[in-house]
Structure 1
Amino acid sequence: MTLTSGHTDTAQAGSGRTDLQQFEEADVLDVDFYSFQQQLTSEEQRSVAAIREFLDREVRPYADDLWEKAQSPRHLIPGFAELGLFGASWPETRQFENSAVYRAWVALEISRADPSTATFIGVHSGLAMNAIGVGGSAEQREEWMRPMARGEVIGAFGLTEPGHGSDTAKGLETTATRRTVDDGAGGSRDEWVLNGSKRWIGNAVFADIVVIWARDTADDQVKGFIVRQPAVGFTATKIERKQSLRGVENADIVLEDVVVPESDRLANINSFRDVAIILRLTRAEVAWQAIGVAVGAYEAALAYAKERQQFGKPIASFQLVQEKLANSLSNITASIALCMRVSEMQDLGIQKDHHSAMAKAFATARMREVVGWCREIMGGNGIQLDHGVARYFADAEAVYTFEGTYDMNTLIVGRSITGIAAFV
């Protein structure tokens, strides 16, 4: 089997697109200032609208409470699955033919409602499912992809380590050692023994499977393994006292002689270059999540500014408040424009690492500015959950950092520009 992204989308310029009149009548976000959603088909627009309605009803009203309690929205998994939020890009699990642009808008919508929920879904669908979709054999995809799409099996993705984040490609310390053992029936079987530790692994405390990345002690190459839960020697401990993305249950993982059969090694992962294919797909989606964070903060600040009275009139009438709102919308619009093209390039099959890296670095930097301005608009009330911006303000820091820091993504772009790697 040839290793590919597994995505079968094709660009059909103009095919199935809504005309402007249909688009103007559609249920779209006011923040879509330049009407970017015109690029979605009618079916895609209807799906986005249905997802938004569900999120506004089932997620947004309760997101602050889950954030404060540091709990993931596990009770909504059946609803997420019914909406097709898991595995939307894969032929065997998507509910209808769709584009990367559509999936990007879905990522924006989820993050707009709650960045923690977006991360929870992103870990399961974007990372764990994509790991199996990209790196798994036909048999592995058949075993796992549909149950994961239905929400019957929840996945996690174990790459980052306590001592290695940005330098994971070369510094990964978790090891995998292959051995042959007696099968007890006169034959033998191959299995792997995993040892090491992981950190910041979302969903790991309750996941049914965890994709663990480890360095093969024989050839020093990174391999992927599906670790079924519970597993002897596998311990996941929830990380407490977080102040960002509290609704994501991250864990420290310790692996002590964890045995994985050869049948659960991802068959098409032979080096970190293969892992990078997965990260390229998800990094662009995280850029869209950053836009969603900015949109959520902007909408809350705009509503507040129209209602909050100072000096006998709404603060939305003040020039400096309008400047912050205009600058926020400009950042959001510029980020959408950049990320739209990256998603279109994914549909065309021409997206490269540096394209995803630029999108992630740019969108998260602009997001950080937006949440800062929106918190300023609210004054002291901006630090309280009840007023709608504080959660986005805090969560932005994690989104700015994960899936490659701003610095690392900037250097990926710099390497593309100059042809010189400047990582160390």
Structure 2
Amino acid sequence: MSEREDLGLEDSPLSDFLGFELLLSEQDRDLLGSVRSFMTREVEPVINDYWTRAEFPHELVPGIAKLGIAGLAYDGPGCPGRGALVDGMVAMELARVDPSMSTFMGVHGGLAMGSIHLCGSDEQRERWLPAMARMELIGAFGLTEPDVGSAISAGLATSARRDGDEWVLNGEKKWIGNAAFADLVVIWARDEEDKQVKGFVVEKDAVGMTFDKQEDKIALRVVQNAEIHLHDVRVPEANRLQKAESFRSTADVLRVTRMGVAWQAVGCARGAYEHALRYTKERQQFGRPIASFQMVQDLLVKMLMNVTAATAMNVRGSQLQDAGLLADEHASLCKAHATVRMREAVGWAREVLGGNGILLEHHVGRFVADAEAIYSYEGTREINTLIVGRAITGESAFV
């Protein structure tokens, strides 16, 4: 029996060197194994083709729905309520095979369902969450705008005007994942009367809401981002998220989903590392596998150190989230650290493969490209360091 079998890790990926999966209950480990099996069996063989064509594999959605992972951490109506740690590891497992599919689920099950779970009334949660958990309705999250990204809290320009029992929305959104095919889009807009940011659930057929799919991306090409144009879109008061009264509500959603992105970063790094490790055992040079070369082993171990360190930090962040103790600065530290370590790791994986590292057939090139998007969204490294810096110094460096 090998050492990994002694630890009960024979079914775990080689990137889980210290056995973090052992922190999960048996039930949660079984779920993680089911996700891993589905991604390996159904997604990995086809994802390069979809990535090349910048299309989304809609036929895989029913299989993902059967896994029961949408809104995994939430305890709202119809939601699994399994906790943040297993939710994070599932996001990591998805990204280990394809960061685009992890992003798709992060937008739907994290941002969209999270907005309704955290900011919706009991009636709204009952109305939308069960169908979203079954993935009968797919959600999107409309916050970022063409002219403002990191400064969205102060610069959000999309407007909302109350008109009787309806709200009239006008504005533009950009980089909205899933928007090209979503059934529900959570739109964040500034109330013209009190100047506060409020959330609205807009159904896909709403008159005045149109979409332009964003083309020619070099990262997360499977994710269907779109620009949203809102021209006098009327939304009933019943679709205004009743507990969202300021940008603080938006920040509450982003805090927990930022942890999800930190886990996606670890998954992206793990995927690149595992493909590189397999490659070094198969690739022969000078009559022996390159895995036997000192410089190659050095790169592999540096990748593993990054993956392991980022996983450890994320585990603690998710434990704090499960305990109700996760603060903005905790999530920001995890996201900043994980994405920096990811960027290094995928670069080293590309280096190990040499020229083959840019060929999709070896997968590593896809992880290198996708890492660039994960590095920037849900708060750039700079923004996250300023959030942590404010927490440790007591001084705000935001302009």
Unmatched segments (≥5 aa) in structure 1: 1-19, 181-189
The aligned residue for residue 116 of structure 1 is 100
Q: State how far apart, in whole Å, the 2-side matches of 1:39 and 1:357 are.
A: 23
TM-superposed deviation, 1:281: 0.5
The aligned residue for residue 274 of structure 1 is 249
Matched, 1:39 2:23: yes
Give matches, 1:139-158, under 5 Å.
Answer: 139-158=123-142
**Residue in structure 1 matching 2:225, options 247, 250, 253:** 250
Moved more, 281-290 or 69-78: 69-78
The aligned residue for residue 205 of structure 1 is 180
1:26 and 1:45 in contact (8 A); partners too: no
What's the TM-score once normalised by structure 1's chain length? 0.91
Moved more, 357-366 or 46-55: 46-55
The aligned residue for residue 49 of structure 2 is 65
Q: State how far apart, in whole Å, the 1-side matches of 2:372 and 2:105 are.
A: 18
Matched, 1:353 2:353: no
The aligned residue for residue 167 of structure 1 is 151
Give matches, 1:17-416, under 5 Å.
Answer: 24=8, 27-91=11-75, 92-95=77-80, 98-180=82-164, 190-416=165-391
TM-superposed deviation, 1:303: 0.7
Which amino acid counterpart does residue 93 of structure 1 have in structure 2?
G
Which amino acid counterpart does residue 254 of structure 2 have in structure 1?
L
After the TM superposition, which segments of 4 or more aligned residues of structure 1 sit over 4 Å from their partners?
20-23
1:87 and 1:93 in contact (8 A); partners too: no
Which amino acid counterpart does residue 52 of structure 2 have in structure 1?
E
Alignment RMSD: 1.3
> How many percent of aligned residue pairs carry the same amino acid?
54
- Give a deviation string over 1:299-349, Cα, whole Å, max 9, x none: 111111111112222111111111000000000000011110000001111
- Give a deviation string over 1:24-63, Cα, whole Å, max 9, x none: 1662222111111111001111111111111100111111
Which amino acid counterpart does residue 227 of structure 1 have in structure 2?
V
Q: State how far apart, in whole Å, the 2-side matches of 1:313 and 1:241 are.
A: 41
Q: Secondary structure at the match of 1:249?
A: coil
TM-superposed deviation, 1:136: 0.7
Give the aligned length: 395
- Give a deviation string over 1:94-142, Cα, whole Å, max 9, x none: 34x5231111111110000100000011111100000000111111111
Q: State how far apart, in whole Å, the 2-side matches of 1:384 and 1:355 are.
A: 37
Q: Secondary structure at the match of 2:8?
A: helix
Q: Secondary structure at the match of 1:255?
A: strand
1:72 and 1:120 in contact (8 A); partners too: no
TM-superposed deviation, 1:71: 1.2
Which amino acid counterpart does residue 259 of structure 1 have in structure 2?
R
2:139 and 2:186 in contact (8 A); partners too: yes
Q: State how far apart, in whole Å, the 1-side matches of 2:98 and 2:343 are.
A: 16
The aligned residue for residue 7 of structure 1 is none
Q: State how far apart, in whole Å, the 2-side matches of 1:251 and 1:86 are.
A: 22
- Give a deviation string over 1:126-162, Cα, whole Å, max 9, x none: 0000000011111111110011111111110000000
Q: State how far apart, in whole Å, the 2-side matches of 1:257 and 1:22 are.
A: 63
2:346 and 2:364 in contact (8 A); partners too: yes
2:9 and 2:19 in contact (8 A); partners too: no
Q: Secondary structure at the match of 1:420?
A: coil
Q: Secondary structure at the match of 1:260?
A: strand
What's the TM-score once normalised by structure 2's chain length? 0.97
Q: Secondary structure at the match of 2:111?
A: helix
Which amino acid counterpart does residue 203 of structure 2 have in structure 1?
R
Unmatched segments (≥5 aa) in structure 2: none
